[in-house]
Structure 1
Amino acid sequence: MKVTLIVGSLLLMALVLGIGYTEYQRYAQTQIRPSRPAPNVVIQPVVRQNVARQVEALGTVKSRESVQITAKVTEKVEQIHFEDGQQVNAGALLVTLTSGEQQAKVRAAQANLNEQRREYRRIEGLVRQNTMARSELDKLRTGIEVARAILAQNQAELDARTIAAPFAGILGFRQISQGALVTPGMVVTTLDALDTVKLDFSIPERFLGQIQPGALVDGHVAAFPDQIFSGKVTGINSRVDPQTRAVEVRARVDNPQLLLRPGMLMTLALTLEARSGLVVPEEAVIPRQTEHFVMVVNGNNVVEQRLVELGFRSRGEVEILSGVQEGEQVITRGMDKVRPGQTVTTQQTEHFTFQGVG
C-alpha cells in the first residue's frame, strides 16, 4: 500500500513538472520570436478617364492638292519668278515665256474689233434715218462677233505664254532655266497644298463595319517623334483588296506648320470606339482560367479579392467594367506575398494614361 502511494506521488509530480515545462517553453517562444511584420505592397488607385479601342496601322502622307506645273506651248523662257521651295498664293506668276508676236496679234485684233464697233454705230445712225437697209446692221453685227472671237483666240495664245499657280501651296525644285525652250507637257516645277494633308492607310476587313467617316486618327512620323498629328476619316474605299483582305481608308490631317510632307510614313492609331471608364494597371489583374481578379486594399489596409470584368486593353493598362469602384486602391506589386483578409502596409505609385488598342 505504501509503495502504491509513493508511485502515485511520483507520477503526479512528473505530470506537474511536464505541464510546467511545456508552459515555460510556450512562454519562452513568445518572448524570443517577434511577431511577423505586415507585408509591404505597391498600390494604385482605380481612376476614371477616357478609354478607347483603337486599330494601329501604317499610312502614307499625301498632299491635299498636288500638280505638276507644265507648259502649254512651245516657246522660250523669258523670265522665272519663283525660287525652289517657295510658298505661293493662288494665281501667283511663276514663268513668263516669249510673247512679242502674240501681244502684237492681240493689239491688232483689238483694233479690228474697235473698228467694227465704230462702223456699226455709223450704219446704225443711217438706218434710223432710213437711208440704209437694216440688213447691213446684221452683217456688221456678225463682223463684230467674228472680231471678238479672233481677239479671244489671240488673248488665249498670249495667256498661254504665262504660267501661274493654280492654287496656294509650296513649290518644288525648278526644272527649267531662263532662255530654255519649253514644250507642251514639260514639267516646270511641282506644287503641293500642305495646309492640310491626306493620310491613306489600310485596315483589316473585319473592322469595316466599325469605322465611319469622322473617326479620329492620331499618329506620328519619324522626323517628329514627339509630336502627335490628329485628323479625321473622310472616306472609305468601296473595295476590299482580295490579296490582303484589307480596305483602304483616307483621313485628313491638319498641318498648319507644314511639317508633314508628301510621301512620309506615319504610324497611326484609328479610334473605333471611345468612352469614359475605370482603368487599372494590367499588372493588377490576376487571371485564373476564364475569370479575372484584383486585390483591393480597403481603408483598414486589409486585402480583399474581387472578381472583375475586363473591357478595353492597352499596353500596360486595362479597363474594368465591374468589380471595383473609382478611387479604390488595387495592388500592383507584391500580390504573391498576401492573401485575402491579411493586413498590409502600402506604397503609392504614379498615375498613368490609357490608350486602348484593338
Structure 2
Amino acid sequence: MASPFSMPAFLSSRPYRALVVLGLVSLVVACGKKGGAEGDKGGQPPATVTTAQVQPVRWSDELKALGTANARESVTITASVSQTIASVEFDSGQYVKKGQPLVTLVQGQQAANVVQAQAQLRNAEQLYERSRKLADQQLIARADLDTQRSALEAARAQVATQRATVADRVIRAPFSGVLGLRLVSAGSLVTLGTPITTLDDVSLIKLDFTFPESALSQLALGQRVNARSDAWPGETFVGRVASIDSRVDPVSRAITVRAEIPNADGRLRPGMLLDVGVERATRDTLAIPELALQQNGEVASVFRVEPGNQVKEVPVKIGSRRFGEVEVVSGLKPGDRIVVEGTVKLRDGSKIKDVGAKATTDQDGARSGDGADGARPAKEG
C-alpha cells in the first residue's frame, strides 16, 4: 500500500521537475530586476560642478542715472527794440568772443539825434565857459553860473542817452561761445524779443540728473562722475559732482544733482542724453560670480556646498553688480563654498563632484582609473 506521504507519480516526472526549475529561475530574475531598479532609483551619480570660495573683496561701484547736458552759459539772442536789420555779421555755428557785433539795426534817426545832442553840448560848454569868466570878474551872480553848469550837465546826459540808443541798435555777444542757427536776414523787421540766434558756452558742460532720496547719504561734492553717450560709443567723459539741490522734490521724492564735465573739444552738446555713473566710496563686501546666482522672480539664491559633498540652496540678498560679479549683502559668510558652474543640474540636497578643486579632481580621476566605474572584464560578461 502506498504511503500517505509519498509523492504522486506525476510530480516526480521529469517534465514537471523542469517546469518547477524554470519557474524558480524566473522568480529569481524578476526579484533581481526589481532590486536593481530600486538600487538605481536611490543611487544617482554625483553632478559634476565647479565651485568657488566666497571671500571679501574691495568693491567700488556706481550709482546709475540718466542726465541731460547743459551749456556752461546759454542764451537766446533777441532784439531789445523794434527795428529793421541793416546787416548780419555772423554765420551759423561760428565761435564768437564776448562783445563781438552780431547784428546791426537801422540807426539813421538815432545817429542824427546823437549829432544834435553833441551840438547842444558844445553850445552849453561855451555858455558855461563865458559865465565862469564873468563870475570871476564878479560881473554876474553866482546863481547864473550854477544855472549854466546845470545846463551843461544836462547836455552831456543827453549825448549819453542818444549814444545809448545807437548802441541798442548793435546786438553783441554777451559772452564767448558758439552760435546756433541764424534765424534772421538783413532787411528783416525784428521786434522786442524776436529770436535771432542762440549762444552757448560749451567749454564746460553742466550735467543734471536725479536720484531717489534714499541715495542722498551716498552723494557728496567732488565725487567722480563717468558719463557716456550713444553718440560716442566706448568714450567716457569724466567730471565731478559740483552741487546737490537743497530740496527733494515732494512729488517724485527725487533729488537733483549737477556735475561739471570739461568739454574743451566740444564733443558734448547741450540737450544730449547721457548715461551717468557716480562712483561710490570703495568698501569691503562679499562678491560672487554672477553665473552662480539663481533668480526666481524677485528671490535670489545660490547652492552652498555642505559637508558630505551635498549642496543646499540658500536665499541671498544681492546689492549692486559689476563686470560679471554680484555683491552679496546677506545670506553668505566668508569662507562659504558655492557652486558656480553646473547649477542647472542641481536641486537642494544633490550630491556633487567638484572639478573646480584641482586636488579633488586628480584624486577622483585616479579612483575612476582604478576601475571603480570602469567596465567589467570580458570573461565576466
**Whole-Å Cα distance in 2 between the matches of residues 243 and 125 of structure 1?**
76
1:133-167: per-residue Cα shift (whole Å, max 9, x none)? 11122101111121122112111110111011101
Indicate how the Cα distance of structure 1 residues 90 and 339 shifts in structure 2: closer, same or farther if over 3 A, else same.
closer
Q: Contact 2:57/2:287 (CA < 8 Å) preserved in 1?
A: no
Q: Contact 2:81/2:191 (CA < 8 Å) preserved in 1?
A: yes
**Whole-Å Cα distance in 2 between the matches of residues 79 and 171 of structure 1?**
17
Matches for 1:216-227 after TM superposition, within 5 Å: 216-227=224-235
1:227 alignment partner, SS class:
coil
1:337 to 354, 365, 381: 354
Structure 1 partner of 2:367:
none
Structure 1 partner of 2:198:
190
Alpha-carbon shift at residue 290 of structure 1 (Å): 9.5
Residues 1:153 and 2:166 aligned together:
no
1:246 to 254, 259, 265: 254
Q: Contact 1:88/1:165 (CA < 8 Å) preserved in 2?
A: yes
1:14-49: per-residue Cα shift (whole Å, max 9, x none)? xxxxxxxxxxxxxxxxxxxxxxxxx9x899xx9998
**Whole-Å Cα distance in 1 between the matches of residues 80 and 74 of structure 2?**
18
Alpha-carbon shift at residue 240 of structure 1 (Å): 2.1
Q: Contact 2:292/2:302 (CA < 8 Å) preserved in 1?
A: no
Structure 2 partner of 1:175:
183
Alpha-carbon shift at residue 238 of structure 1 (Å): 2.7
Residues 1:282 and 2:289 aligned together:
yes
Indicate how the Cα distance of structure 1 residues 339 and 176 shifts in structure 2: closer, same or farther if over 3 A, else same.
closer
Provide TM-score, normalisation by structure 2: 0.64
Paired letter, 2:236 = I
**Whole-Å Cα distance in 2 between the matches of residues 240 and 180 of structure 1?**
46
Q: Contact 2:206/2:261 (CA < 8 Å) preserved in 1?
A: yes
1:225 alignment partner, SS class:
coil
Alpha-carbon shift at residue 323 of structure 1 (Å): 6.1
Alpha-carbon shift at residue 318 of structure 1 (Å): 6.0
**Whole-Å Cα distance in 2 between the matches of residues 116 and 95 of structure 1?**
35
1:42-90: per-residue Cα shift (whole Å, max 9, x none)? 99xx9998x5232100011111111111111111111100001111111
**Whole-Å Cα distance in 2 between the matches of residues 284 and 173 of structure 1?**
52
Flag the structure with higher strand content: 1
Paired letter, 1:274 = T
Alpha-carbon shift at residue 274 of structure 1 (Å): 3.3
1:86 to 83, 94, 104: 94
Indicate how the Cα distance of structure 1 residues 47 and 169 shifts in structure 2: closer, same or farther if over 3 A, else same.
farther
1:256-295: per-residue Cα shift (whole Å, max 9, x none)? 11111111110110123136x79987269899x999989x
* Count of residue pairs brought into register by the alignment: 283
Q: Contact 2:206/2:259 (CA < 8 Å) preserved in 1?
A: yes
Residues 1:134 and 2:151 aligned together:
no
Indicate how the Cα distance of structure 1 residues 336 and 81 shifts in structure 2: closer, same or farther if over 3 A, else same.
farther
Structure 1 partner of 2:106:
98
Matches for 1:11-26 after TM superposition, within 5 Å: none
1:106-149: per-residue Cα shift (whole Å, max 9, x none)? 12212222221232222212212222211122101111121122
Q: Contact 2:354/2:360 (CA < 8 Å) preserved in 1?
A: no
**Whole-Å Cα distance in 2 between the matches of residues 264 and 249 of structure 1?**
16
Structure 1 partner of 2:63:
55
Provide TM-score, normalisation by structure 1: 0.68
Which ranges of structure 1 fall in alignment gaps of 5 or more residues?
1-38, 295-309, 325-330, 346-358
Paired letter, 2:156 = R
Matches for 1:196-275 after TM superposition, within 5 Å: 196-274=204-282
Indicate how the Cα distance of structure 1 residues 283 and 187 shifts in structure 2: closer, same or farther if over 3 A, else same.
closer
Paired letter, 2:213 = E
Alpha-carbon shift at residue 242 of structure 1 (Å): 3.2
Paired letter, 2:109 = E
Alpha-carbon shift at residue 235 of structure 1 (Å): 1.8
Greater Rg, structure 1 or structure 2? Answer: 2
How big is the alpha-carbon RMSD for the aligned residues of Structure 1 and Structure 2? 3.6
Structure 2 partner of 1:12:
none
**Whole-Å Cα distance in 1 between the matches of residues 304 and 99 of structure 2?**
66
Indicate how the Cα distance of structure 1 residues 248 and 339 shifts in structure 2: closer, same or farther if over 3 A, else same.
closer
Indicate how the Cα distance of structure 1 residues 238 and 48 shifts in structure 2: closer, same or farther if over 3 A, else same.
closer
Alpha-carbon shift at residue 338 of structure 1 (Å): 3.6
Q: Contact 1:54/1:273 (CA < 8 Å) preserved in 2?
A: no
Q: Contact 1:106/1:151 (CA < 8 Å) preserved in 2?
A: yes
The runs of 4+ residues in structure 1 deviating greater than 6 Å are 46-49, 277-281, 284-287, 289-294, 331-335
Q: Contact 1:286/1:293 (CA < 8 Å) preserved in 2?
A: no
**Whole-Å Cα distance in 2 between the matches of residues 136 and 245 of structure 1?**
72
